[in-house]
Amino acid sequence: MYPAQFEQLIAMFEKLPGVGNKTAQRYAFTLLEKDQEEIGEMIDILNGLKEIRRCHICGFLSAEDTCPFCKDQTRNRSLIMVVANPQDVVAIEKTDSYKGMYHVLGGLISSSKGIYPEDINIEGLLKRITPEIKEIIVATSPTMDGEMTALYLDKVLKDKGVLITRLAHGLPMGASLDYADELTLIKALDNRRKIENE
């Protein structure tokens, strides 16, 4: 019923996660009120997206081949924290209490979603284990998939001669790591524990 251009705009917003038709319409009308300059800026931002890649070492987002964390020579290179997503890195960084390296898996092993170990960046992690590495902190969320991934990582890492630890269960079970408040994250980091194998 709207002009085709406007219906396309609504359809574009409807593809965003959790956005229904009403919300998509609200977003579309907001854009309609913007002037050509603002729309031009949005187009520039979308064009800039292609410059964003994954760091070839840790998998975090980066505008260059190597991300600022992996370049930073002041960070503790004997420590790697393994997280599911880039958002988790940002959540940890905000606590300002971790100065080691990161490894972003790009997801979690999930039997329900059919995500297998080879679908996430575990191979990249194994390649990073050199004698320099002393400890790997498995910082996956305390959910079913997070626990599954942590167990799998423990299995493939335990013979590598590095200490494997996990964030303490200060985090309530079932919650997503990247929604935790900073204090809870700091506690979880301080109380990280070695994975015990029976």
Residues lying near a second copy in the complex (CB under 8 A) are found at: 1-6, 8-9, 12, 15-18, 22-23, 25-27, 29-32, 36, 39, 41-43, 45-52, 61-63, 85-87, 89-90, 93, 179
DSSP, res 85: S
Place of tokens 């493939």: 156
Give the nearest distance from C-beta 125 to a second copy in angstroms. 21
Six token digits for residue 160: 């590598």
Give the nearest distance from C-beta 119 to a second copy in angstroms. 14
- Residue 17 vs 131, nearer CB to a second copy: 17
Phi, psi dihedral angles at 95 (to 5 degrees): -75, -20
Distances (CA, A) of 144 to 85, 113, 116: 16, 12, 14
- Residue 116 vs 179, nearer CB to a second copy: 179
- Residue 147 vs 178, nearer CB to a second copy: 178
Give the nearest distance from C-beta 52 to a second copy in angstroms. 5
Partnered with residue 135 across adjacent β-strands are 79, 163
Give the nearest distance from C-beta 84 to a second copy in angstroms. 12
**CA-CA distance, 195 to 198, in Å (whole number)?**
10
Contact 60, 69 (CB under 8 A): yes
- Residue 41 vs 182, nearer CB to a second copy: 41
**CA-CA distance, 137 to 189, in Å (whole number)?**
9
**CA-CA distance, 60 to 57, in Å (whole number)?**
8
- Residue 146 vs 157, nearer CB to a second copy: 146
Give the nearest distance from C-beta 54 to a second copy in angstroms. 10
